[in-house]
Each structure stands twice: as structure tokens, then as C-alpha cells.
């Protein structure tokens, strides 16, 4: 028996010019397609889908799966309602971080029939099989379901130990022309020996053994699992041959956790003579000069490090397990190897003072990175930081509060900064690290202007237009604001 299954990636934000392959849904699609089902993916970030268009596309579906993060809560509920209004017999399954964090609440609030908790490939296959056969769902691990007013949540299954057994993402179900971009030229980085760079994202590992208080790990867990170098390179060769992709962004949280695996991966790329460039996330306490040299020789052009703060006191409070000296050394080694070193930072940390923020700004300037990413810290549900904020009464841990996360997720956890102080710091940082370094790119680069035009043309309603206008106004105000 073949089921018609539609998987939906909700619209994240109207103003983002970057569209990435929804790998989670693409992996799920590949598994379900191999089980003989008719699968379609609707990526609302990549294609313009009105509500009427969505209703037409889902009207004959047997099952609709919707992924989502906590900030997409309202959109997930809205899409669920549209599905049920179109055809109440469609089984709606919610998955992703939102469903994993709040399965009970989602089943109570929404019209969804099921939630999938955590890693979904094995669970969704079992669930769809049970739907086909009309079986009892109680024996399926990793789901939540409701029978009338009764909600039941089953135990989670063991993580998939061997990631090589999961088929490659079903990119053939997507219009890959929407996702293949020249992201390596985003900020004027030059690639010697290459013409046009066509890049896309992929992932090679799951799980993280570290205990950073701000990180959400419930999807993949604490146990790190990595695909083999042969499996990774095979996927890269496939993408190179089928789509002409020669640039790869590894979305792993901890790509470099297993040094031997990285060395083997680099050696295999050179043996196969695959002429590609790639980008990954690194961790400063895991890098060595030898590893960075091997990565550069194998085509690595950029590495992003989660630096977070220029205050050791703050790093310790976040349980980051790194030191400022490790950051300095690793950034220096990365540059010496010929790789662009990028860094991510946060302000608004628990107990942070104005002086701590000043230390972070000064430390970031000292490092002289290729790209800076600064953000205001947001405690996400399911993290240690969130639980601590709830205990202090800063966040109400109830179902009603879920609505707020979709629009205003910032909570001031600092020691002596007002909300206005944090906004002022954010504006100063934007001028100092973004506009100063990349202002010409934003204002005068034809490639960026072309992408910005595409964003404007993709707006679907007045609310999205207002969202983009607010973003643009914020940039202009930040630029002209006098420190």
C-alpha cells in the first residue's frame, strides 16, 4: 500500500537571502520513499506558497509531516490548521526541535495527530507503517499521539549508531536551482583556481558531548556519531556529478570532534582528486596546526568557531570548556594555514556586566577575524540556560508562553545592563564589525543586490513586507546612530 506523504518546511523569516536544503526533511523523505511511498517536499522558505496553493497541493495527501523550531511555533500551528481545514482525514505529524521540546503541549494545543520526538528516520518509518496497517501505536518508540482527549508519549529509541545506513537526502525532490548558491563569495573571499563556486549544505555527524548551557541537544543527544569519510566523499562526488556542486558547507556542530576521521577525510579528498572547496564549524580546543594544514590542503577555505565571549569568567559560566588562550592560538594557526577564521559571539549572558561586554568587543577586535557573527543570547526551551531562567522567574514555563517565543525570545539575564544598553551595544557591534568590514558589499555588490531583489519579490503579504522594512530600518538606524 502506497501512501501520499507531503513534508513541509515552514517559512522561517521573510528577509533572509540565504536558502539552505532542509536536510532533516530530505533525509526523512529518502527513507519514506525507499519504503515505497509517494513523497513531496514543500519548502516554504524556497518557494512562494500561498495558503490557497498549499491547500491544493495537500488536498489528496494521506499524511503531512511538518518540521519546526521554537520560533516557528505560530507558523506550525497555522499550517496544521490549514491542513485539517482542507481535509480532516489527513494525518498530521509534527517533528523537529519544537516537537521534541514540547510534545505534550503541541498535541494539546494543535490539531496534529502525532509528534515525532528526536531523530526521526527510524521512528517515522515505523509510524507510517503502522498508519498503513491500522496498528496500535503504543509500541512505536519516540512518538506522541492522542486518542480523543488522551495523550500518550512513548519512550525514545536508541540513537542510530551507524549513520552510514541512512540513505542520502532526497534532493531530487527539490528544485536544486533554488539552493545552489555562491556562498563562498558572500563577503568577497577569493578562491584561487576556481571559476564559479556552486555550493550547498550537508551534514556528516550528529550529537555533541559538550555541556554548553545555551545549546539544545535533545534532537541528536550527547553521544557524537560520525559518518565515515568514504560515505561523506561519496555524497560529495554524487553532488559534484549531478549538480556541478564544488563548494560544501558542513552544518555539523562538531565536525572536527574525531581528528582521525578528519585526517582520513582530507586524505581521501586528495586521493580522489575532487577539486572542491569547503567550510565547517570548528572548536578551538580540538584544533592543531597539523590538522589545519591538512584541512587547507584538502580544500578547506573557512572555519567558524564558537568563541562566544572575551571574558573567561563568562566562558566558564556557559560551561564552554575553552580558554581565551586556546582561541588566540587556534585563530593564529588557522590564518597561518591559509584558512579564513570566522567567529560567533554572544552578548547578554547570565550575570554579564557592561565591562564583560567591553572585553568581548575588544577581544573580537584583537582577533581580526574574516567574519563576525554577534547575537543577543536567547535561552531556548530544553537548554540548561532556559531551565535556570524559569527557576528565577524570568520565563513562564507554560503553554501560553510558547506564543511569545515566535516573536520575542530575548530575556535580559545580565547583571547591570538595561534592555536599552543591550540594544546600544548591538548597534555599536553592527557598525564596528559588520558595516565597517562589509558595508561596501551590502551597498554596492551586484550579487548581493540581486539576492536582495529576489527577497523583496518573494514577499507574500503585508506582514512580511513590514518585517523586511523593520529589518532595513534597523540597519540604517544602526549605521547613522552616533555612539
**All domains in the chain, ordered by first residue:** 4-153 (3.40.50.280), 180-377 (3.20.20.70)
- Bridge partner list, 153: 144
Annotate 386-398 with b (16+ C-beta within 10 A) or e (fewer): beebbeeeebeee
C-alpha cell of residue 460 = 507574500
Given a contact cutoff of 8 angstroms between Cβ atoms, the answer to whether 478 and 427 are in contact is: yes
Give me the mean pLDDT over the 239-259 stretch. 94
* CA-wise closest residue to 372 among 413, 450, 431: 431
Phi (first) and psi of residue 449, to 5 degrees: -60, -35
What's the pLDDT tens digit per position in 83-136?
A: 999 999 999 999 999 999 989 999 999 999 999 999 999 999 999 999 998 878
Helices (H), 203-346: 229-243, 259-272, 289-297, 312-317, 324-337
* pLDDT number for residue 187: 39
Phi (first) and psi of residue 184, to 5 degrees: -70, -15
C-alpha cell of residue 95 = 517533528
* pLDDT number for residue 342: 95
Given a contact cutoff of 8 angstroms between Cβ atoms, the answer to whether 116 and 143 are in contact is: yes
Q: How far is Cα 362 from Cα 241, in angstroms, rounded to an integer?
A: 45
Q: How far is Cα 285 from Cα 305, in angstroms, rounded to an integer?
A: 10
* CA-wise closest residue to 292 among 335, 233, 234: 335
Q: How far is Cα 152 from Cα 347, in angstroms, rounded to an integer?
A: 40
Strand order in the sheet with 114-116: 38-43, 4-9, 63-66, 91-94, 114-116, 143-147, 150-153
- Judged on CB neighbours under 10 Å (0-12, 13-18, 19+), 76 is buried
Indicate the average pLDDT of the chain.
87
- Bridge partner list, 40: 6
* pLDDT number for residue 15: 47
Q: How far is Cα 93 from Cα 63, in angstroms, rounded to an integer?
A: 7
Q: How far is Cα 449 from Cα 470, in angstroms, rounded to an integer?
A: 18
Cα–Cα distances in angstroms (integers) from residue 454 to residues 14, 224, 260, in the given order: 11, 38, 42
What's the pLDDT tens digit per position in 179-227?
A: 987 665 543 344 555 557 889 999 999 999 999 999 988 889 889 999 9
What's the pLDDT tens digit per position in 337-380?
A: 999 999 999 999 999 999 999 999 999 999 999 989 999 988 88
Q: What angle do CA 268, 270, 273 make, to 5 degrees?
A: 110
pLDDT of 456 over the 90 cut: no
Strand, helix or coil for residue 133: helix
pLDDT range class, residue 482, cuts 50, 70, 90:
very low
Q: How far is Cα 50 from Cα 97, in angstroms, rounded to an integer?
A: 25
Amino acid at each position: 500500500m502506497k501512501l501520499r506523504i507531503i513534508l513541509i518546511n515552514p517559512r522561517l523569516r521573510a528577509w533572509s537571502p540565504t536558502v539552505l536544503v532542509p536536510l532533516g526533511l530530505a533525509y526523512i523523505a529518502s527513507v519514506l520513499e525507499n519504503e515505497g511511498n509517494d513523497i513531496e517536499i514543500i519548502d516554504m522558505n524556497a518557494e512562494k506558497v500561498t495558503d490557497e496553493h498549499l491547500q491544493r497541493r495537500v488536498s489528496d495527501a494521506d499524511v503531512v509531516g511538518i518540521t519546526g523550531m521554537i520560533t516557528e511555533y505560530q507558523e506550525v500551528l497555522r499550517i496544521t490548521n490549514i491542513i485539517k481545514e482542507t481535509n480532516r482525514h489527513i494525518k498530521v505529524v509534527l517533528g523537529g526541535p519544537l516537537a521534541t521540546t514540547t510534545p505534550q503541549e503541541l498535541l494539546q494545543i494543535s490539531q496534529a495527530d502525532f509528534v515525532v520526538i528526536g531523530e526521526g528516520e527510524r521512528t517515522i518509518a515505523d509510524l507510517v507503517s503502522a498508519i498503513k496497517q491500522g496498528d496500535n501505536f503504543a509500541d512505536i518508540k519516540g512518538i506522541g499521539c492522542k486518542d480523543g482527549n488522551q495523550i500518550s508519549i512513548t519512550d525514545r529509541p536508541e540513537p542510530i549508531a551507524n549513520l552510514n545506513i541512512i540513505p542520502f537526502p532526497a534532493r531530487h525532490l527539490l528544485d536544486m536551482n533554488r539552493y545552489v548558491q555562491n556562498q563562498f563569495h558572500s563577503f568577497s573571499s577569493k578562491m584561487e583556481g576556481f571559476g564559479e563556486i556552486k555550493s550547498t549544505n550537508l551534514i556528516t555527524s550528529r550529537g555533541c558531548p559538550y555541556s554548553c548551557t545555551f545549546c539544545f541537544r535533545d534532537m541528536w543527544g550527547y553521544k557524537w556519531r560520525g559518518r565515515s569519510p568514504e560515505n561523506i566523499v561519496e555524497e560529495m562526488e554524487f553532488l559534484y556529478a549531478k549538480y556541478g556542486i564544488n563548494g560544501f558547507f558542513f552544518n555539523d556542530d562538531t565536525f572536527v570532534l574525531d581528528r582521525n576521521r578528519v585526517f582520513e577525510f582530507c586524505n581521501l579528498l586528495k586521493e580522489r582528486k575532487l577539486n572542491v572547496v569547503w567550510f565547517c564549524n570548528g572548536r578551538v580546543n580540538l584544533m592543531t596546526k597539523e590538522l589545519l594544514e591538512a584541512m587547507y590542503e584538502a580544500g578547506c577555505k573557512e572555519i567558524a568557531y564558537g568563541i562566544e565571549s572575551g571574558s573567561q569568567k563568562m566562558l566558564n559560566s556557559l560551561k564552554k570548556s575553552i580558554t581565551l588562550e586556546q582561541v588566540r592560538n587556534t585563530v593564529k594557526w588557522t590564518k597561518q594555514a591559509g584558512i579564513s577564521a570566522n567567529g560567533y559571539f554572544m552578548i547578554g549572558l547570565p550575570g554579564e556586566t557592561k565591562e564583560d561586554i567591553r572585553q568581548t568587543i575588544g577581544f573580537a577586535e584583537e582577533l581580526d577575524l574574516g567574519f563576525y557573527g554577534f547575537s543577543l543570547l536567547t535561552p531556548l526551551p530544553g537548554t540548561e540556560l532556559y531551565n535556570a531562567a524559569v527557576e528565577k522567574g524570568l520565563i513562564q514555563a507554560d503553554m501560553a508562553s510558547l506564543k511569545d517565543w515566535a516573536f520575542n525570545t530575548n530575556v535580559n539575564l545580565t547583571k547591570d545592563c538595561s534592555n536599552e544598553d543591550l540594544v546600544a551595544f548591538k548597534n555599536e557591534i553592527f557598525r564596528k564589525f559588520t558595516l565597517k568590514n562589509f558595508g561596501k558589499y551590502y551597498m554596492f555588490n551586484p550579487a548581493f543586490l540581486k539576492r536582495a531583489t529576489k527577497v523583496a519579490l518573494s514577499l507574500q503579504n503585508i506582514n512580511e513586507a513590514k518585517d523586511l522594512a523593520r529589518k532595513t530600518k534597523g540597519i540604517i538606524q544602526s549605521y547613522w546612530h552616533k555612539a
